[in-house]
């Protein structure tokens, strides 16, 4: 195990390290104590926190949204969420070439439609949705109103909708080689998503549907995984007719919290010392289960504000309570370390195993981590990004992408707003439908690869 070089850290950063370890130790102790408490005692604390919270927060919400929020909050999995809104789903399993079993969900029909022959082709155009970091497929459908769910809206529009899951998360916590309690199970980064998870999932979907191509829609890290996969698998570009990137992530500038940002960029592998070599924030599900949901939502809000300077004003309080319960899923510490390596080097690169590379006194480096060749992507790319999203530097991103990339700015939108905002059915979903319709017309899809970004921006796809 490599020990990060810490000599360049300031006194303030060492204090932050000490504080972080203290918080983690306290959380571990509290978790241990709570596990041995009788259930009536835990229920009493839960009810007490609920009463105390409501005394200080007397907001009134629309009764219909509050009712829907309660249903989504209590849904235990993807199946429950579909049942709430009247959809029949399918479950599939993808075996990656390196032995991971990935859960894959499918919405083959409109609300209330049942199929006599599940697991077969529908003859419809195929759309594949992929989630972001620390998430799973539930984030696409955990909305209080089904009209604001992109997945449901596309199913109603006549698409065969598939929703993927990363290795290690709630629906993909299995491998034929290693158990989830071993470090080797969690020894993966964004590289592995690009080499295996994305292409193997696409191959499975196309085998089942018998379709020659599909459309890919990613959110946050789900876009990074597609950028990486398309850049290193030339043949994959022939199987994806359009790549729509929501809140695209490639090389974020960093975090809004200065101490955390500086510390992690100085030594990304320091995360291994804090969280170990397995799953990051693995106790989050435990604390969520014993915390009154509005309090849990408030904690998430404050954390997002501190780390990313997101205010989440575009997401209603009831939507937050419902969606935040489905927000977290397991991910490897190594994949988060990979992100901080990308931020430190300001380049969309593969995982750097040589964390102790030599320091030179000249401007010429003897070593550079391999970068994903994203300018080689042939598939048409559409970026839908919020101009209040601290993780998106659109100019830097466009400079690393091919000239046929087009982009659409969403005014006042932050990162999570693109999934759960009040007006996604007005601002986001119609844009997605427009581009899907355009690129699913075969003659146009073939020709558009050669159309310049300026032509596209100047009205080729204008409303």
Task: Show which residues are catalytic.
Answer: 220, 389, 415
Residue 332 backbone dihedrals phi, psi, to 5 degrees: -75, 145
- Between the two ends of the chain, the Cα-to-Cα distance in Å is 55
For the chain, how many helices (H) and strands (E)?
A: 20, 8
Q: Record the tokens describing residue 72, joined without a space.
A: 């989504």
Q: Rounded CA gap, 160 and 104, in Å?
A: 13
Contact at 8 Å (CB) between 243 and 230? yes
In terms of Cβ atoms closer than 10 Å to its own Cβ (0-12, 13-18, 19+), residue 43 is exposed
Q: Rounded CA gap, 246 and 131, in Å?
A: 10
Longest dimension (CA), the chain: 69
Closest CA to 278 of 329, 330, 340, 332: 332
The strand pairing partners of 243, in sequence order, are 216, 381
- The SS3 call for residue 218 is strand
Q: Which distant-in-sequence residues (6+ apart) come within 8 Å of 286 by Cβ?
A: 31
Q: Rounded CA gap, 12 and 145, in Å?
A: 46
Q: Rounded CA gap, 137 and 453, in Å?
A: 31
């Amino acid at each position: 195990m490599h020990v990060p070089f810490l000599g360049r850290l300031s006194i303030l950063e060492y204090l932050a390290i000490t504080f972080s370890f203290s918080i983690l130790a306290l959380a571990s102790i509290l978790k241990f104590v709570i596990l041995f408490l009788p259930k009536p005692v835990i229920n009493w604390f839960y009810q007490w926190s609920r009463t105390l919270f409501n005394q200080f927060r007397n907001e009134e919400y629309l009764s219909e949204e509050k009712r829907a929020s309660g249903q989504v909050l209590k849904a235990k999995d993807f199946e429950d969420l579909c049942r709430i809104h009247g959809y029949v789903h399918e479950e599939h399993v993808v075996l990656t070439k390196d032995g991971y079993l990935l859960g894959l969900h499918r919405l083959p029909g409109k609300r209330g439609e049942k199929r006599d022959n599940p697991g077969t082709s529908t003859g419809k155009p195929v759309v594949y949705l992929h989630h972001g970091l620390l998430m799973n497929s539930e984030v696409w459908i955990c909305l209080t109103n089904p009209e604001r769910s992109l997945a449901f809206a596309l199913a109603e529009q006549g698409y065969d909708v598939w929703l993927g899951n990363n290795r290690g998360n709630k629906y993909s916590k299995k491998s034929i080689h290693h158990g989830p309690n071993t470090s080797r199970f969690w020894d993966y980064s964004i590289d592995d998503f690009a080499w295996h998870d994305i292409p193997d999932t696409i191959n499975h979907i196309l085998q089942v549907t018998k379709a020659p191509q599909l459309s890919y829609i990613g959110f946050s890290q789900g876009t990074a995984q597609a950028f990486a996969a398309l850049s290193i698998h030339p043949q994959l570009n022939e199987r994806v007719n359009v790549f729509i990137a929501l809140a695209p992530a490639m090389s974020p500038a960093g975090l809004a919290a200065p101490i955390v940002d500086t510390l992690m960029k100085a030594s990304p592998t320091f995360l291994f010392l804090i969280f170990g070599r397995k799953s990051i924030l693995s106790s989050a599900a435990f604390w969520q289960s014993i915390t009154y949901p509005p309090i849990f939502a408030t904690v998430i809000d404050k954390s997002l504000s501190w780390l990313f300077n997101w205010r989440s004003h575009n997401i209603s309080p009831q939507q937050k309570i419902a969606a935040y319960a489905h927000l977290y899923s397991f991910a490897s510490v190594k994949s988060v370390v990979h992100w901080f390596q990308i931020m430190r080097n300001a380049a969309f690169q593969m995982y750097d195993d040589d964390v102790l590379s030599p320091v030179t006194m000249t401007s010429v480096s003897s070593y550079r981590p391999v970068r994903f060749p994203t300018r080689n992507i042939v598939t048409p790319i559409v970026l839908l990004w919020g101009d209040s999203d601290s993780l998106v530097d659109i100019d830097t991103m466009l400079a690393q992408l091919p000239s046929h990339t087009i982009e659409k700015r969403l005014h006042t939108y932050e990162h999570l707003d693109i999934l759960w905002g009040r007006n996604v059915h007005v601002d986001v979903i119609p844009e997605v439908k427009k581009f899907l319709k355009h690129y699913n017309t075969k003659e146009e899809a073939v020709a558009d690869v050669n159309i310049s970004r300026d032509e596209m921006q100047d009205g080729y796809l204008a409303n």
